[in-house]
Chains A and B, each alone.
Chain A
Amino acid sequence: MLRQLSRFSLTPFLHRTVVASSRACSSTSSGSSVVEEQHKASSKCSDDDEPIELSRNPYEKERRKCLLCKTGIELDYKNARLLQQFVSTFSGRVYDRHITGLCDHQQNKLVETIAISRKAGYMPIFVKDPKYVRDPKLFDPLRPLRPHSFA
């Protein structure tokens, strides 16, 4: 608003409004050199009233993280109960990343850790341990992030 007014300050017919505006931003309005005064004032005001440019978007949403990164849980080959939550109850195979919802690094680590755990004798190889079948579900295999490939 003020910037717009200052742009018109040289035109004589808008004199009154300009004076009013200069009063609003600073209490200097008297004498013959009104135009100069208001010019200074308006320029000073315009510095303050410049639109602020922020370095980042304050409305930016937080980056979503996968379950393991969010909770900060380390995968360990001895923790077979946790590992078996990522294994299918029906086929005993590890769910793919479009079902588990893990990032690339964590999914790779999961597959590696499960292989070690099976080799070291902490986890059954072909099935999920029936003791852990009723454990809480971390994800729903029927509602994947991306459609199943069926390949």
Chain B
Amino acid sequence: MPLFEFTVITKSLSKADLIKTLTRAGNVLLEKGAVIEKVESLGHRDLPYKKIAKQTGDSVYASNYFLFHAHMSSPARLEAKTILRNDLDTVHVEAVLTPTEKPEFECNLEEILKPPAERESVQKLREKQRLCHFTRQLIYKKTEKEWKAIPKSYPIAPPRD
């Protein structure tokens, strides 16, 4: 079962209400067959954007953040998320999947910093360049125009000394 992190933001509540809300949220997860690994409090924070509490319609500017680390199946997560979102005491709920495997990669900044002629991506483009007939024609015409713009001789002969 993949690990999900449930971010639960409650509206401003008294301590007793907060405990009730959190136990309710935890029970919802457990009913959906989750294994809760950890519950964290991220503290009382300013929200990044204003939220409106359900039913009362109060605007919430700062509130408590909680994090549930729960192992559960993906469909169960969706159900749990909808239930938690419809809870009257929550303001915002989101479940984020924690990736188990980190993909291996190599930093290619050196490649990016190279001039375009030496870059591999550009060389690939060059190898598989696909110019249609009209583009080739266009380039030819442009070059021809430039070439013809160079004066071959003086329009008026330079004066003799």
Contacts and interface: CB of A to CB of B under 8 A. Distances in A.
Contacts of A97: 112
A145 B112 contact: yes
B7 A65 contact: no
Given A121-B47, A121-B92, A122-B48, A69 B7 contact: no
A148 to B, nearest CB: 16
A2 interface: no
A121 B107 CA distance: 30
Interface in B103-128: 103, 105, 107-110, 112-113
A64 B9 CA distance: 41
A102 B112 CA distance: 9
Interface in A23-82: 63-66, 69, 77-78, 80
Could you tell me the dominant secondary structure of chain A's interface residues? loop
Interface string B64-81: 000100000000000000
Could you tell me the dominant secondary structure of chain B's interface residues? strand
A126 B96 CA distance: 21
Interface of B: 7, 9, 42, 46-49, 51, 67, 92, 94, 96, 103, 105, 107-110, 112-113
Given A124-B48, A125-B48, 17 more contacts: A63-B110, A65-B109, A65-B110, A66-B109, A77-B96, A78-B42, A102-B109, A103-B108, A103-B109, A104-B108, A105-B105, A105-B107, A118-B48, A121-B47, A121-B48, A123-B48, A131-B46
Interface of A: 63-66, 69, 77-78, 80, 97, 101-106, 116, 118-125, 129, 131, 145
